[in-house]
Amino acid sequence: MGVSRLDVLYRRLLLTRLFIGGWGRPEDLRRIFEFRKFIGDREKCKTLVSEDYPVYINKTEELADCLIHDGFFISPLEHLVPGILPPEAVKARFQFIVPKKWQKNRPVCIQLAGTGDHFFWRRRTLMARPMIKEAGMASLLLENPYYGYRKPKDQLRSCLKNVSDLFVMGGALILESTVLLRWLEREGYWPLGMTGISMGGYMASLAVTNWPKPIPLIPCLSWSTASSVFTTGVLSKAVNWTELEKQYAINSVYEKEIINLLEYCGADSFKMEAEHSRGDDSLHLLGFSGDFSGQHVETRRPSKPGGDLEGVLDGNGGEYSVSPTSSRETNREPLSRTHRLEGNLTRFCRPTLHSESISFMKGVMDECTHMANFSVPVDTSLIIVVQAKEDAYIPRTGVLSLQEIWPGCEVRYLNGGHISAYLFKQNVFRQAIYDAFNRFSLKYPNLQP
């Protein structure tokens, strides 16, 4: 199956660049990687967000068919990993769109935002209000960090400034979704589920891996990892590789320290590829230069999630923090400034720099977005994935499928690509939501409050 021409053309029309700031500060990457190890294990996260975490409604608007409640709360990530969020993103904002008359029960679907979906108008118009009309289903629209009201002042439109921003966004949305699910439970809504389109589907999937109960999940136009999106999909053309390569070459901390924090070792991991390769030629093919092949590229089984955070996350005193200095330090002899400059210049001129940077991107993306790095949802039969056959934004070649990671989930394929599906197949997304919720209601009637 080929890729959609519309997807390729649409990407060419957009001139904005992704990650113009680079990889992000090494200390931020260290902190978020350590936190990922912890949050990847659902059993360790049961007490991260309290059952009565405060949520506030500050305004209500009445329309002909629904009530729109505007609400907010403080992102738990600000308490758990202080300072990792930009100040504008600390307050999580949402719209809760409720039918005036319920048809059956009081179902609510949390919808996370896809790329470019600032504020609430798009999801409210294309999904939430039609869902009220068709099924009497409420929607809770959470605004992503780095979008809308939560967008940093120095960020251009939807273009995340640093690679690390995407991982911070994911960690925040996992915790914020937990806050909202628990709040909805307290308020007596049932059944509850999660969905999202494109990046929103990824984020909804991550959030559900951390939820300790069966829950409907409908990820649309997303897949098992974001690594292919930024390394082989059409969005890879929008990545500011010049800046990423420069930082990777000049600052050896990425190559010599950060890479050792990457623990994902699935069948599609770049570390597994390096382990099974033999000789300098194969390492070159994987994007590793000759001087890098002398480094120790360790391939190991992932440690127990959270294992490295013993004593770092302390749930007993009600205060959590992730140390910004926790890392494996590399023992190096001090170099003079002249030698450092000469070494950096040599590194910057090496011919494999671009392929090394792509390999590093795959590694960091898999670490924080690969579904195999997180707990399997409690009941995978409640997952209905909607994917486009010719999606050029979300490549499926060369990565583990969701059916392999989540046995029992259902995948529905649409003809066409990413853009055409988003523009013309919203009704298919909504039908998948209704089907997943009906499946849950039939299978777990006793869970009704």
The 3-class SS string of the chain reads CCCCHHHHHHHHHCCCCECCCECCCHHHHHHHHHHHHHHCCHHHHCCCCCCCCCCEEEEEEECCCEEEEEEEEECHHHHHCCCCCCHHHCEEEEEEEEECCCCCCECEEEEECCCCCCCCHHHHHHHHHHHHHHHCCEEEEECCCCCHHHCCCCCCCCCCCEHHHHHHHHHHHHHHHHHHHHHHHHCCCECEEEEEECHHHHHHHHHHHCCCCCCCEEEECCCCCCHHHHHCCHHHHHECHHHHHHHHHHCCHHHHCHHHHCCCCCCCCHHHHHHHCCHHHHHHHCCCCHHHHCCCCCCCCCCCCCHHHCCCCCCCCCCCCCCCCCCCCCCCCCCCHHHHHHHHHHHHHCCCHHHHHHHHHHHHHHHHHCHHHCCCCCCHHHEEEEEECCCCCCCCCCCCCHHHHCCCCEEEEECCCHHHHHHHCHHHHHHHHHHHHHHHHHHCHHHCC
- The percentage of residues in the chain with a pLDDT greater than 90, rounded to a whole number, is 60
Burial environment of residue 318 by CB neighbours within 10 A (0 to 12, 13 to 18, 19 or more): exposed
What's the CATH superfamily of 5-270+352-442? Alpha/Beta hydrolase fold, catalytic domain (3.40.50.1820)
pLDDT for the residue numbered 18 = 87
In the structure, what pLDDT confidence band is assigned to residue 61 with cuts at 50, 70 and 90?
very high
Q: What is the pLDDT of residues 179-237, one digit of tens each?
A: 999 999 999 999 999 999 999 999 999 999 999 999 999 999 999 999 999 999 888 98
Is a pLDDT exceeding 50 seen at residue 113? Answer: yes
Average pLDDT score over the chain: 82
Q: Is the four-CA dihedral 93, 393, 271, 376 of positive or negative sign? A: positive
- The domain limits of the chain are 5-270+352-442
Averaged pLDDT, 391-413: 93
pTM: 0.82
Q: What is the pLDDT of residues 340-394, one digit of tens each?
A: 444 454 555 566 889 899 999 999 999 999 999 999 999 999 999 999 998 988 9
- The percentage of residues in the chain with a pLDDT greater than 70, rounded to a whole number, is 80
pLDDT for the residue numbered 398 = 86
CA gap 147, 257 in Å, rounded: 31
Is a pLDDT exceeding 50 seen at residue 319? Answer: no
pLDDT for the residue numbered 14 = 65
Averaged pLDDT, 10-19: 72
